[in-house]
């Protein structure tokens, strides 16, 4: 078994050997895979490497302010070859989307991940579930490279950490998270400005959707389950798309006494995507599994076809039983 | 001039001399004055002091989980005398409310504050505007006392800091803030749980009010000013009170492109309380001053009597002019 110190050396060794390096995050990129990937790429460029950033899905507009965000490629010429491919924040190869094929076309593959229960792949596999964000792993790697830790790199890593910890609220946040962030701030991250760019530049339609969705708020007689829904017609009438619904599941969960929040989003094909979030103790991974879905103990999802009232009824019945059985 | 080191010694000296100590925060107590006051009181009790906690207004339900929150007194017997009175997080004596009279009844007065431009009062006046929270000052004081820094104290200080920094988003948050919080977490603060108690236990009526208020959302043609309002009738019809409106001003401000957010709350007496919040640069203190109000550059307020449409028109006209003049 390698311990982390040896693994870190192996990763650094791969970086040193390679001349051309492709970095890639996961499908539906978030602040962590983007921030960690861009920070690492900026560092590797300082070392004189030819670096290409890849993402299987477009960079969400909210992350457009990140250094080099505009350089991220959604497609690559099939002829391109790389000495090294670095998978950032992907728990399984499939999460690389169509860039999964680069795993075979690259000379070597390094995997940087922090998810528990991930699949092992690549030539060097560095997974530290104790890190709240992939950005924390990159933070720990950089001092081992001949690189100046500048404000751009620090800003990318700050974004990686602040987004993956829910602004330091999730239980993945530990003392080390705050220590790393203190250091990033010393390096000049304009944290207040970054937080405004991340959380206070929402399109107007997001608030219109929030308003429409809040009108559907329901709560069980016992007060422990709350739900909301959005129909396709509502999204169409407000000229909104799925991304504008992101995060609304947090609203039913923030009600006093609620342990389980449900959100039903109608998909184009008559199915409903159900999001399940628990607050303190309910295992929603188990609950979602009973409907063919899954995820994490506090955040899971499933797909169900049928009539909304019927689906709500089935979910609610199973949820109340799960709460009774806890 | 005293520097902080000498002032810290003076404060410690006062703590050591006193046998009975009253601690008091400001009117409409927030997480910082309560957390800082309770942490300090718990420490002073470890030293064998007789400590009484005072607050001119009731402790909001959301802070009820803080250790000793249930002991906070809203009134004190006029006969009580204290060797020492400690004002926590009050920029001026008037912010002590009716407990201001204790300033005269106490043997000595210590002031712990972190507001810029505060009034100097008391026998020992320790104001550190570089601290994001009064809780940070208490954090720095405690190692000078013969006290074990336990989980209860750490939790109170964590709440003080997380609330006064807007979850580490405001520009008062510096590297030192994160370093102090890392240390508090090492002392055992259950941060994820505390954040849920602070931010995910809202009464249902708060979401109903948010929904009602979002329906009043308006935005200027230029997209730089957004506003919302709430009428007394709406509050009454939802059985809501003013506290349920707290924080809704953040919603118009989080719209992309908006620099200035306005919120109009009708008071019982036909006046409107106008809240002004800017995002990046507009000085709303100046803007509010033109309507007889004031506050801070990014957060101010004023009171205006009259018809809502007329008031909105006047504010909007002044706001657009201020934005043009910037």
Q: What residues in A contact B214, CB-CB < 8 Å? A: 207, 210-211, 214
Confidence at A133, pLDDT banded by 50, 70, 90: very high
B85-137 pLDDT, tens digit per residue, is 999 999 999 999 999 999 999 999 999 999 988 899 999 999 999 999 999 99
Say if CB B23 and CB B37 are below 8 A apart.
yes
Q: What is the CATH number of domain B208-325?
A: 3.10.310.30
| Residue B2 pLDDT | 53
A residues 239-258 lying closer than 8 A (beta carbon) to B: 251, 253-257
pLDDT at A3 over 80: no
CATH class of segment(s) A207-325? alpha beta
Determine the distance in angstroms separating the CA of B243 from the nearest CA of chain A, rounded to an integer. 15
Partnered with residue B104 across adjacent β-strands are: none
Give the model confidence (pLDDT) of A244-291 as tens digits.
998 999 999 999 999 999 999 999 888 999 999 999 999 999 999 999
pLDDT at A270: 83
pLDDT tens readout for residues A35-70? 999 999 999 999 999 999 999 999 999 999 999 999
pLDDT at A2: 52
For an interface test with A, give the residue of B213, B218, B255 to mutate (most A CBs within 10 A). Answer: B255
Average pLDDT for residues B47-75, to the nearest whole number? 97
Does A1 score more than 50 pLDDT? no
B218 touches chain A (CB under 8 A): no
User: Cα–chain-centroid distance for residue A131?
Assistant: 14
Shortest CA distance to B312 belongs to which of B280, B282, B281, B276? B276
Contacts of A178 in chain B (CB under 8 A): 178-179, 181-182, 185
Tell me whether residues A254 and B203 touch, CB distance under 8 A. no
Contact B108, B137 (CB under 8 A): no
Distance of CA A83 to the CA centre of its chain: 27
CA distance B96 to chain A (A): 30
Beta carbons of A237 and A258 less than 8 angstroms apart:
no
Cβ A255–B202 below 8 Å, yes or no? Answer: yes
In Å, what is the CA distance from B107 to each residue of B17, B73, B78, B87, B126?
11, 20, 15, 13, 18
Q: Report helix, strand or coil for B110.
A: strand
Mark yes or no for CB contact B175/A167 under 8 Å. Answer: no
- Are residues A189 and A151 in contact, defined by beta-carbon separation less than 8 angstroms? yes
> With an 8 Å Cβ cutoff, are A256 and B169 in contact?
no
Q: Residue A197: name the closest of A35, A23, A28 by CA.
A: A35
Rounded to a whole number, what is the distance in Å from the CA of B259 to chain A's nearest CA? 10
For A92-132, the pLDDT digits (tens) are 999 999 999 999 999 999 999 999 888 999 999 999 999 99
CA-to-CA separations, B219 to B51, B260, B261, in angstroms, rounded:
51, 10, 9
The shortest CB-CB distance from A215 to any of B173, B211, B257 is to B211
**Among A292, A212, A228, which residue's Cα sits nearest to residue B204?**
A228
SS (H, E, C) chain A: CCCHHHHHHHHHHHHHHCCEEEEECCCCCCHHHHHHHHHHHHHHHHCCCEEEEECCCCCCHHHCCCCCHHHCECCCCCCCCEEEEEEECCCCHHHHHHHHHHHHHEEEEEEEECCCCCCCCCCEEEECCCCCCHHHHHHHHHHHCCCCCCHHHHHHHHHHHHHHCCCCCCCCCCHHHHHHHHHHHHCCCCHHHHHHHHHCCECHHHHHHHHHHHCCCEECCCCCEEEEEECHHHHHHCCCCHHHHCCCCHHHHCECCCCEEEEEEECCCCEEEEEEEECCCCCHHHHHHCCCCEECCCEEEEEEECCHHHHHHHHHHHHHHHHHHC
**A167-192 residue pLDDT tens:** 999 989 999 999 999 999 999 999 99
The C-alpha of B93 sits at a distance from chain A's nearest C-alpha, in angstroms, of 31
Query: What confidence category does residue A150 fall into, taking pLDDT thresholds of 50, 70 and 90?
Result: very high
Domain B4-199 class?
Answer: alpha beta
Checking if the pLDDT of B23 tops 60, the result is: yes
Mean pLDDT of A72-79: 91
Domain edges within chain A: 4-199, 207-325
pLDDT confidence of residue B306: 94
CB contact under 8 A, A178 and B175: no
What's the burial of A292, exposed, middle or buried (CB within 10 Å: 0-12/13-18/19+)?
A: exposed
A85 with A108: CB under 8 angstroms? Answer: yes
Is the pLDDT at B156 greater than 80, yes or no?
A: yes
What is the value of ipTM here, to two decimals? 0.92
Q: What's the pLDDT score for residue A326? A: 79
Burial of B259 (0-12, 13-18, 19+ CB in 10 A): buried
**Contact call for B202 and A167, based on CB within 8 A:** no
Query: What SS3 state is found at B206?
Result: helix
Are B179 and A179 within 8 A, CB to CB?
Answer: yes
Shortest distance between the Cα of B55 and any Cα of chain A, in A, equals: 25
Give dist(CA A210, CA A204) in Å, integer: 10
The C-alpha atoms of residue B84 and residue B107 are separated, in whole angstroms, by: 6
A175 touches chain B (CB under 8 A): yes
Best of A149, A200, A201, A261 to disrupt the B interface (most B CBs within 10 Å) is A200
* Triad B250, B253, B255: Cα angle to 5°: 120
Q: Which of B162, B192, B207 is nearest residue A251 as measured by Cβ atoms?
A: B207
- Say what the pLDDT of residue B1 is: 41
Residue B3 has pLDDT above 90, yes or no: no
Q: Does A221 touch chain B (CB under 8 A)?
A: no
Strand B294-295 with B20-24, pairing: unpaired
* Pair B285, B293: CB distance under 8 Å: no
Q: What is the pLDDT of residues B272-309, one digit of tens each?
A: 999 999 999 999 999 999 999 988 889 999 999 999 99
Q: Helix B191-199 to helix B151-164 angle, to the nearest 10 degrees? A: 50
Q: Looking at residues A135-144, what average pLDDT do you find?
A: 97
Task: Report angle CA A210, B216, B306 to the nearest 5 degrees.
Answer: 155
Mean pLDDT of B201-216: 97
The region that residue B293 occupies, defined by phi over 0 for left and psi between -120 and 50 for alpha, beta otherwise, is beta
């Amino acid at each position: 078994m390698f311990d982390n110190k040896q693994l870190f050396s192996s990763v650094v060794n791969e970086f040193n050997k390679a001349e051309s390096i492709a970095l890639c995050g996961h499908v539906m990129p978030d602040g962590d895979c983007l921030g960690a990937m861009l920070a690492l790429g900026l560092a590797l460029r300082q070392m004189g490497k030819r670096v290409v950033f890849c993402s299987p899905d477009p960079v969400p507009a909210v992350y457009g302010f990140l250094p080099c965000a505009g350089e991220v490629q959604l497609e690559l010429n099939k002829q391109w070859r790389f000495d090294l491919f670095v998978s950032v924040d992907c728990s399984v190869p499939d999460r690389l989307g169509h860039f999964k094929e680069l795993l075979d076309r690259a000379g070597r593959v390094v995997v940087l991940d922090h998810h528990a229960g991930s699949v092992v792949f690549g030539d060097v596999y560095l997974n530290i579930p104790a890190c709240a964000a992939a950005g924390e792993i990159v933070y720990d790697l950089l001092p081992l490279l001949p690189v100046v830790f500048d404000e751009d790199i620090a800003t990318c890593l700050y974004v990686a950490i602040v987004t993956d910890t829910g602004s330091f609220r999730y239980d993945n946040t530990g003392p080390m998270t705050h220590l790393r962030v203190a250091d990033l701030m010393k390096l000049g991250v304009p944290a207040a400005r970054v937080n405004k760019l991340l959380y206070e530049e929402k399109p107007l339609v997001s608030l219109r959707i929030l308003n429409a969705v809040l009108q559907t708020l329901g709560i069980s007689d016992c007060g422990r389950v709350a739900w909301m829904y959005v129909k396709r017609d509502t999204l169409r009438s407000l000229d909104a798309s799925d991304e504008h619904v992101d995060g609304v599941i947090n609203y039913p969960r923030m009600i006093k006494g609620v342990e389980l929040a449900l959100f039903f989003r109608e998909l184009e094909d008559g199915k409903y995507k159900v999001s399940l979030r628990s607050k303190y103790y309910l295992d929603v991974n188990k609950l979602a599994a009973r409907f063919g879905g899954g995820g994490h103990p506090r955040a899971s999802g499933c797909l169900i076809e049928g009539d909304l009232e019927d689906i709500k009824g089935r979910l609610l019945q199973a949820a109340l039983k799960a709460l009774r059985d806890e």
